[in-house]
Chain A
């Protein structure tokens, strides 16, 4: 194991301030935990950085999101204009919004990579089932953040993409139309939908994310990092590095690199605003959802109009719903891994899912939109 530097060892280095805070906050206890926390070192260690990177991007989202709230006005009449004002008139408004938009996309990307790395390395095995469940919930929350946030600028693309996206909920038999009208606040996407999405985006989802994130981090802290069987030292007696400061400093390098990438993307490709939504206009040609919905959108297009006695689209929606449930239940379905035996099926299923998502996403951007 790497030698532990004495960064946290001398509480005298902050003198009386440390003592004062320690007496009230119990910092020594935290310090003891931090001292003990190690990160396994093996050929798959790199995947451990994805969770921290996602957390960094989430914090970036919270910070820029709060700044956006200072100017954003959630109504069909003012939303677009408030963003226009922010982008054109507010000092660094363009930067805050562009960072918010780019960090959102990168966060969803890192969440996906994090999830699949955990799946393929079987880090969901006992006793980390609840860590996995909270992680899948956080993926769902991230996607919902993206879906609700996309409508908020109230531009043409967002409006029609939301109309198409919410229509999918409406195809669910019996309850679909009810949920559709609850989500939209009416029969169609309107100002009522905007205020609902706004409330969900800035209040409900952050509250839910805080709960699940807190649980997720607590469980990661409690159980430590999972070591894959295939990794060197899978018996838990392999090499390790201290979390403070060795792993955290490496994390910082990743965060700074991502921050530089986001800054470059914001400077060269600022978030676009487009044309204000006009519900009375026809939908623009070739309208597409956000990239992380593309594989589902494209899959639905390939389905025949009818499968057995059901509409093809309904079958597709059910299939994705079922896939989501199966993903959630992976720790309980992978019974051989529970018994400590080697199980390759779920790894191959994970690889197939990754290939499916990548191929369908590429097809979504390259295939003829009429097919």
Chain B
């Protein structure tokens, strides 16, 4: 760290002031923090301030754990290279520096036995690691770029730079920077696209932190999650049923031959929107139409699949509408409404089965749903019919009651007029 001539007297004055103030009150163990906190230069004081609620500080570590030196000495003598002081580590040094503890299973189990200890090894296999450590490119990310240097928090802490809600912004800090990415010739719209996706909506609006963010598909420290040969296969971690059906389908083999990404071919990668029935078939917005036409067998299959899904969806909606009409008229149809959930479940399963691209399999699910819908619909229609009947009977009852009232009035008149008044 270099200071200009003009700053030297000021720094000297500050140091004298600090030493005199802290000579009694300072902690014998952490002179670094004690002095740096009150230094007027923010570059020197901010790290000490930030470190106070860093996860490492809460576990009892102090500055010398990373920077070396002797914290029991007050003053510049504490920062003696002979005492292991390394100052601010070089970017290439950072992984090894963090790895001194984080790659040591025996050491880490004292603090967090659940934390993995292969982060550095994984990092070395990643594009970031290879460029940084092998190619000497200082622009790629090292540990402190994602985790910060002095305010590292657990992933579960919403203030953490690697909390699921903040990961996109952390990655986007570099990857959405067109100037920074220009030399690598990679797109910089991933953050914007991702923030239109159903996954981000689920995390940010739905509060479901299990929905995927950047690292869930691209890996935390390595290039991809363990055991996955390709980032596209990550979808199967959550969407297992669809992935299994797809892997057994003809499309799986054809896509592999063509070099198409599996799921992303139809669903895209960063801007994954909620799947809709419109994606199926050959109409507007249908992804099948990207490769198929009405003349080929694939196009005809797509049309048949769409027709099957549409039939279950529309009949379910109709039955639901009938039940709501009955319910709004005061009829008790809650059991029928509950039973209709079975048809909704069948529709969900049929939509998942689309990934087999097998009309028979889809029709089996649709058939099960249609059976429920038919039964439920008849209960709704019965309720509406009962409602009409109730009103007819009400009218009949009221006519009878009115007739009785008229009869009583006539009887009273006859009785009282006949008897006269006293």
Binding site for B on A (CB under 8 A): 1-5, 84, 87-88, 94-95, 239, 245-246, 249-250, 252-253, 256-257, 259-260, 263-264, 267-270, 272-273
Q: Is B419's CB under 8 angstroms from A256's CB?
A: no
Contact indicator per residue, chain B 396-422, by CB within 8 Å of chain A (1) or not (0): 011001101100110110011011111
B334 at the interface (CB under 8 A from A): yes
Q: Chain A contacts of B409 at CB under 8 A?
A: 253
Other A-B pairs beyond A94-B332, A263-B398, 10, CB < 8 Å: A88-B335, A94-B331, A249-B415, A256-B401, A256-B408, A260-B397, A260-B398, A268-B391, A273-B332, A273-B334
* B109: chain A residues within 8 A (beta carbon): none
CB-based contact A5/B419 at 8 Å: yes
- For the complex formed, measure the closest distance between the CB of B157 and the CB atoms of chain A, giving whole angstroms: 28
Residues in chain B near residue A94, CB distance under 8 A: 331-332
Q: Do A269 and B330 form a contact, CB below 8 Å, given A253-B405, A256-B405, A263-B398?
A: yes
Residue of B nearest to A276 (CB): B334
CB within 8 Å: A-B pair count: 71
Q: How far is the CA of A4 from the CA of B422 in the complex (A)?
A: 10
Interface residues on B, range: 20 to 34
Which residues from chain B sit less than 8 Å from chain A, CB to CB? 330-335, 390-391, 393-394, 397-398, 401-402, 404-405, 408-409, 411-412, 415-416, 418-422
Contact status B415-A245, CB under 8 Å: yes
Once the chains are docked, how many angstroms separate the CA of A2 from the CA of B418?
A: 10
CB atoms of B330 and A252 under 8 A apart:
no
Closest to B334 in A: A84
How far is B402's CA from A309's CA once the two chains are assembled, in angstroms? 60
What are the residues of chain A within 8 A of B331 when measuring CB–CB? Answer: 94, 270
CB–CB A257/B405 < 8 A:
yes
Residues in chain B near residue A273, CB distance under 8 A: 332, 334
Residues of B near A95 (CB, < 8 A) are 390
Q: Please name the residue on chain B nearest to A257 by beta carbon.
A: B405
CB-based contact A2/B421 at 8 Å: yes
B329 to chain A, nearest CB (A): 9
Partner pick for B332 among A84, A252, A264, CB 8 A cutoff:
A84
Cβ distance B356 to chain A, nearest Cβ, rounded Å = 38
Indicate if the CB atoms of B334 and A2 lie closer than 8 Å: no
Q: Say yes or no: B411 contacts A84, CB within 8 Å.
A: no
A3→B402 CA distance, assembly (Å): 27
A249 and B408 within 8 A (CB): yes
B330 touches A253 (CB 8 A): no
Chain A nearest Cβ from B402, distance in angstroms:
7
User: A87 contacts B422, CB within 8 Å?
Assistant: no
Bound CA–CA A1/B419 (angstroms):
10
A264 in contact with B398 (CB, 8 Å): yes
> How many Å lie between the Cα of A84 and that of B401 in the bound state?
30
- Chain B residues with CB under 8 Å of A246's CB are 412, 415-416
In the docked arrangement, what's the CA distance between A252 and B401, Å?
Answer: 11
